Structure 1
Amino acid sequence: MKVNKVVSKFFLIASLSTSLAANASIIIDNNTGGYYNDGIGDMADYYGPSQFPGANISEGDPVINQAVEPTTFGAAFGNDWLHGDYSGAGSTWTTVNNIPDTWKINHETAIVYEFTTSSFTDLHIDLGVDNGYYLWFDGQYISGALAPGHSNINEYNIDIANVATGDHRLQILREDHGVASDFDIKVDAKCKPTPVPAPFSIALLATGLLTISVLRKRKTML
């Protein structure tokens, strides 16, 4: 299913039979800080134009939806950035109070936002980037896309449903292949109440317990 340029819906845990909470809160926006890596360089050096086109639009300015996950990361990414290990020789990660919304043209940059959920939560991500993005959640690839033109907050819409209670990481690799770089993000979190048995289920359970009790009494009398 597509909305604007691309939509990716990824269910992390089986859906609960409960209604959503009435209100959503913004947990990440353009003023949010996190781990930031602007020392990656140009990943076109070891990837082709279907994922990281050459500098200065030398290999075109393609529109690519559902881009293939990048799996080759240089020393600048650290030992295992997708699982929280930013150490290692050559690692260029820093922590910043605000993720820059522009960066060096013809270079890639990486971002990790960390947050904690206190209950099952649905996430909705509004994302815009010039020229492209690759997105993981807790180290698992969700989606990626490339397109020409400046960033627009409604360029990409991504839903991640039924996120479990606990600590989480939203990981984004930003791609640029010339002219300009832009980035916009807004992540809404909608908590889901703890599921409770439906009235019919309670009645059925009570009937079952009563039946067991009666059968036990009859057995005792016999």
Structure 2
Amino acid sequence: MRLRVLAAFLAAGGLAGAAEAATLIDGSTPGRYNSGIGTVLDGTNPFGGTFMFPLADVLGGDPALDIPAGNEPDLSAASTALGSWLTNPAAPGGAWSAGPVGIPASWPINSETAIIYELDGGVGGIGNVSASFGVDNGLFVWLNGTFLGGYLRPGGVSPGEFTLSLGSLGSGMNYLQILREDHGGASGYDVSVTGDMNPAPIPLPASGLLLAGGAAALAGLRRRRRAA
């Protein structure tokens, strides 16, 4: 019985820690920040009978939109400010802050801002990653440069208005890229991202390997004695 347990232990790669649930991003999490976009996107990206970026001061209405992943917005009008934020988030250029800073929960009305959050997957990666947002008026979300979806709603900020399952993130650095939209009246933002940190397997120590070898040798000796 002991040998079977030991064999199963070795097959699993030795000691391994359990996944550790954690809050990865909240309102206090710093990120690279871009407040230099302004209103250049206003009236662009027709969608659902209106625009993904409505006209300022609610002149084009106050739409409610759910924008699926296959409808990535064209941000070329803001390329000077945004730089290479989707392809090179570690050094995006453009109008980005030099490094991570505090992210304001509100920003000048009728303008757009953008955020790059770092998600360090460590050695084992991050599992069960889920993102929850509240925003006035809208936001668009990318993960490592891949568009995941967008959301526009009239009214104020309610936590959990817009949720996304991000699945599992690989080891090393990952980047959550967010573009915030406002078309007048007020602006506001709430964010919560959670996930399970997956620790790297802990190798079986040398003493454990010696114990395993000794147990195997003892089992072989017992078999030979019974055969004799």
TM-score, normalising length: structure 2: 0.70
Shift of 1:191: 2.9
Counterpart of 2:63 in structure 1 is 62
Counterpart of 1:140 in structure 2 is 146
Shift of 1:170: 0.3
Alignment RMSD: 2.0
Name which of 42, 45, 49 aligns with 1:44: 42
TM-score, normalising length: structure 1: 0.71
Given that 2:31 and 2:117 are in contact with CA atoms closer than 8 Å, whether structure 1 keeps it comes out as yes
**Equivalent-residue separation in structure 2 for 1:46 and 1:149 (angstroms):** 21
Name which of 24, 28, 46 aligns with 2:25: 28
Matches within 5 A, 1:165-176: 165-176=171-182
Given that 1:35 and 1:112 are in contact with CA atoms closer than 8 Å, whether structure 2 keeps it comes out as yes
Matches within 5 A, 1:99-114: 99-114=103-118
Gaps (5+ residues) in structure 1? 1-20, 196-222
TM superposition outliers: structure 1 runs of 4+ over 6 Å = none
Shift of 1:194: 7.0
Are 1:77 and 2:82 an aligned pair?
yes
**Equivalent-residue separation in structure 2 for 1:120 and 1:96 (angstroms):** 22
Are 1:150 and 2:156 an aligned pair?
yes
Identity score, percent: 37
Counterpart of 1:127 in structure 2 is 133
**Equivalent-residue separation in structure 2 for 1:141 and 1:51 (angstroms):** 14
Once structures 1 and 2 are overlaid, which stretch shifts more, 62-71 or 180-189?
A: 62-71
Counterpart of 1:205 in structure 2 is none
**Equivalent-residue separation in structure 2 for 1:193 and 1:77 (angstroms):** 34
**Equivalent-residue separation in structure 2 for 1:45 and 1:76 (angstroms):** 18
Shift of 1:126: 1.2
Gaps (5+ residues) in structure 2? 1-17, 202-228
